[in-house]
Amino acid sequence: MPADKACCLPSEPVIPAGSGHRPLIPDKEGRKAHSKAKGTRGGRPPVFDSAAHEGRNVIGRLHTYKHNPRVGTRHDKLTVRFWAVIQVAGGNRWLT
């Protein structure tokens, strides 16, 4: 299951280990350095799925939905709710 990161604190991993989630947003350079410094003592390796990130990034860059930040940033956890927000945003755009 894809997962976004709300913040990038080394002391609080946003994506728990063993949860089956994979990161979609690349880590910041500081996080990469901290993870490498930890070595085998833990920490998520500084990798991410670039194909999934590219697919997620397409929605954020749609020029017709940019005025609706909820569509661009995908705050909804459930896919059904996300598609409902897209339909409402499309309806609003069509009406205006």
Per-residue pLDDT reduced to its tens digit, 42-75? 555 556 677 777 777 776 666 666 677 777 677 7
Identify whether residues 20 and 39 lie together within a single domain: yes
Number of domains in the chain: 2
Residue 86's pLDDT is 84
Read off the pLDDT of each residue in 11-20 and give the average, rounded to a whole number. Answer: 59
Read off the pLDDT of each residue in 71-96 and give the average, rounded to a whole number. Answer: 81
| Domain extent at residue 7 | 1-61
Q: Which of 16-30, 49-63, 81-95 has the highest mean pLDDT?
A: 81-95
Identify whether residues 29 and 75 lie together within a single domain: no
Q: Give the CB-side neighbour count of residue 1, counting CA atoms within 13 A.
A: 10
Residue 1's pLDDT is 47
